[in-house]
Structure 1
Amino acid sequence: MKKLRSYSSVWKVEQVIYSFGDAKLPTPVTVTQLLWLAVSSVLVFMFRKVPPLAFIHNPLILCCI
């Protein structure tokens, strides 16, 4: 169990997303994780022509960009 240094951490509960509409996610995702995914995807999209990202020939990565 985590030690509490103050009561402010008790009231800061992070939001968790369990599903999008009727589609349930395999694991719950926090809003922070979704923001990291969105920001990193935008950065990869912006710099896709700059080395070393220009040397990636993986179809799974290329289909997303």
Structure 2
Amino acid sequence: MLAPTGVGLFALADVGRAYSGGETSSTWHNGVGGGLWFAPLKRSSTVHVSLVGSEQRTALYIGLGFAF
């Protein structure tokens, strides 16, 4: 029995400033990465795994769904 599935790759990039309330910062931080997504039945049940790196750290993220 075959079930409808989807699989794909994605890339990401992010740039922003981070600071606490009452502080100011002119430093821009960036991160880049990519990952794999898998939708076992339909796109609303997507599972994704991504690896993202920046100057501060590299992190592995696992999640459900997409924000877009």
The alignment's TM-score, normalised by the length of structure 1, stands at: 0.25
Higher share of residues assigned strand = 2
Higher-Rg structure is 1
Higher relative contact order (CA 8 A, sep 6+): 2
The alignment's TM-score, normalised by the length of structure 2, stands at: 0.24
Higher share of residues assigned helix = 1
